[in-house]
Amino acid sequence: MSMGKPVSGAGSTAGTRESVGEFDYVIVGAGSAGCVLANRLSEDPAVRVLVLEAGGSDRSVFVAMPSALSIPMNTRRFNWGLRTEPEPGLDGRVMNLPRGKGLGGSSSINGMCYVRGNPMDFELWSALGAEGWHWANVLPYYKRMEGVDAASDMRGGNGPLRVTRGRMQNPLYQAFVDAAGQAGYALSANMNDLQHEGFGPMEMTVGNGRRCSAAVAYLRPALKRGNVTLITHALTERVILDGRKATAVAFSSHGRSYVAHVAREALICAGSIMSPVILKRSGIGPAAELASHGIPVTADRQQVGENLMDHLEVYVQQESKLPVTLYSSMNAVSKLMLGARWMLTKSGLGASNHFESGGHIRSRAGIVYPDIQFHFLPLAISYDGSALADGHGYQVHVGTKRSKSRGWVRLGNADPASTPRVRFNYMSHPDDWMEMRASIRLAREILEQPALSPYRGRELAPGSQCQSDAALDQFIREKVESAYHPCGTCRMGSDADAVVDPECRVNGLQNLRVIDSSIMPQATAGDLNAPTIMLAERASDLIRGRVLAGIPDARLLADPEWATRQRSGQITRDYAGQRDLLREQLLQESKTRREQTS
């Protein structure tokens, strides 16, 4: 076995489990979090790190080219190909559930939207029991990970993750932002800087015209150090426990069985679907479920696999009267030219994810910070690229970010190769319907503003006939889609029911942590990849017994009259010196949500 290179293990006879050696840290999953940990923990040349990844290489032009994002998302080489159970709240629809498989995980197949989330997301995390994860403490890690063109007190310029914004050359991007301003919303020069609420340019994890996945930013540099071993096509079966102490990780590769011994810690970074599955196969989870599959119970943890959250969205699509949209580039010849230019220069339309402007607003008065997100696209097409409108059009992807519905992840059976059962229970809470209707109506209002008048044709979806609550509800049932942001299934907290504590350690066990989006106590108000990478950055320091100093005066902006109005052109109230008051208000809102959900 060679250090720092993908290997599939030495030969072994069928039915035996051969050791691949002992490592200080065994990381399960080379996704967004696992790549970060491999990099940061291997900064110490005396530390030996093993990374186990169920998928293979991420080397593909379709992964690297930002505009080709729908291709790896729909390719089994890069995607686990999961589907949900029939969703009761959506008339039994079975939903697509893309999850990254291969180096970089979902950061190699996602839409590359870079959204930190609202600073108040992390105040809420801390208030819900994830102590230490408030904004002042996580901001230094956002700065450490970022490589933006213009560093500042709020942004990092030297981090490994390249973050850029689109050139916004298509006039529709700015017209959408201008329309939002005309509708009475605040504008923000950078929604990842001081002011998250409002509308403006969006950022993407793209560097030099190429997708900057976690594998590109973190794993590849780590592999060059010589103290990181990567085993691909390695399906983790379970964590081996000696009493309540993790001592090894059992996995299979190419039909052969192996074990990796753990000197310090096993780190589960398999994502919100697979991390709880691995815990359950290791005897950590709801006792009744484990017993039903013949798995001996080491730790009865009822919340493992529960609390599953996601972001849902619909498309409000408009016909364009002017031929300025990306539809002109959807024919075979244009795609060929686009691809050729990208291959030669890493520039042009191929170098963008095309989500170059967007926004964040509150669905109603009484909400402290935004719970609705917009992604604008100068094309009328489904997110996975499977359905294209017949002609020029544009659309806004819109949906709520703090849904009250909760789902679960459960074992299909005890076989490590089996597919888990997943049900989000989408739209199972009545308030989710109210908020999704509001999302559509508020989006329509923006699209009807004068800034878009030169382009605006007929509404393609939901369509002008779809106005009543009942009609909108039917549209939502039929057309709502996941934004592919599952989280929460190994919830972090300070209470006895939490799966992991605020240092990401599995409660009641030794030498075992879970570090990925599964431990988020609440979904953030935006795309989840950036918060997941930040989470792993801070966790890497918690593992090493050190953390960056917080920024006590980190600003927390809100509409000064959020309690009585839904929108404002001025987001000026700063809670930086009133964190206790803010936490109280956020907890009250969250408490109401939990009571209504239960």
Residues with a known catalytic role: 485
For residues 287, 288, 291, 293, the Cα torsion angle rounded to the nearest 10 degrees is -120
Query: What count of other Cβ atoms lies within 10 Å of the Cβ of residue 57?
Result: 16
Q: Is the peptide bond before 462 cis (omega within 30 degrees of 0)?
A: yes
Q: Position 165: which residue type?
A: R
Instruction: Map tokens 């936490």 to a residue.
Output: 583
Strands 256-268 and 245-253: antiparallel
Q: 3-class secondary structure for 285-307?
A: ECHHHHHHCCCCCCEECCCCCCC
Amino acid at 499: V
Q: Rounded to an integer, what distance in angstroms lies between the CA atom of residue 325 and that of residue 316?
A: 15
Cα gap 341→326, rounded to integer Å: 16
The answer to whether 569 and 197 have CB atoms below 8 angstroms apart is no
* Alpha-carbon distances, residue 150 vs 135, 143, 155, 157, 163 (angstroms): 21, 12, 8, 6, 10
Alpha helices in 23-154 (DSSP H): 32-41, 61-64, 70-73, 119-127, 135-145
- The rounded distance, in Å, linking the Cα atoms of 252 and 596 is 44
Find, among 205, 99, 68, the residue nearest to 485 by Cα: 99
Q: Residue 460, SS3?
A: strand
Buried b (16+ CB within 10 A) or exposed e, 107-144: bbbbbbbbbbbbbbbbbbbbbbbbbbbbbbbbbbbbbb
What is the Cα–Cα distance from 438 to 188, expressed in whole angstroms? 22
Measured distance CA(512)–CA(387) in Å, rounded: 44
Half-sphere exposure at residue 542, Cβ-oriented, CA atoms within 13 angstroms: 22
Rounded Cα distance, 165 and 524, in Å: 21
| Residue 377 · residue 389 · CB < 8 Å | no
Residue linked to tokens 């039917």: 474
- Mark residue 11 as left, alpha or beta (left: phi above 0; alpha: psi -120 to 50; beta: remaining): beta
Say if residues 529 and 114 touch (Cβ distance below 8 Å): yes
Per-residue tokens: 303: 């919340």
CA distance linking residue 106 with residue 100, whole number of Å: 4
